[in-house]
């Protein structure tokens, strides 16, 4: 398993695990899903396909960051601003 993409995949996993700590449904829920998603492709050997999967992971990172930001923004807006008429 001396795949040159190994480092990248591990980095992606670590980043997602870190992001998952803030997940609304809890870190444990997220961790389970994350692991399952990675394990599903554990036998993947085609570098092109792995690259595609990593790109999908990067997209999920962006989505999560956007989700957290929106969640916080909405909470602040609800607390500190009058509802718009």
Q: Does the protein bind another protein through residue 35 (CB under 8 A)?
A: no
Q: Exposed, middle or buried: residue 16 (CB in 10 Å: 0-12, 13-18, 19+)?
A: buried
Of residues 5, 8, 15, 60, which one binds another protein by CB under 8 A? 15
The residue from 6, 10, 18, 35 that contacts another protein (CB under 8 A) is 18
| Residue 80 near another protein by CB under 8 A | yes
Alpha-carbon distance of 28 to 21, in angstroms, equals 8
DSSP 44: -
Please identify which residue in 1, 36, 81, 83 interacts with another protein, judged by CB under 8 A. 81
Q: Which pair of tokens denotes residue 60?
A: 């999920």
Q: Cα angle vertex 31, ends 36, 16, to 5°?
A: 95
Residue 72 binds another protein (CB under 8 A):
yes
By CB under 8 A, name the binding residues for another protein.
14-15, 18, 24, 65, 68-69, 71-73, 75-77, 79-81
């Amino acid at each position: 398993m001396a795949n040159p993409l190994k480092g990248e995949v591990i980095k992606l996993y670590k980043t997602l695990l870190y992001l998952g700590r803030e997940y609304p449904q809890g870190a444990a829920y997220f961790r389970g899903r994350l692991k399952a998603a990675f394990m599903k492709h554990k036998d993947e050997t085609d570098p092109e396909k792995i690259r595609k999967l990593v790109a999908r992971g990067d997209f999920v990172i962006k989505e999560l960051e956007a989700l957290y930001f929106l969640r916080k923004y909405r909470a602040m807006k609800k607390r500190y601003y009058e509802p718009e008429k």
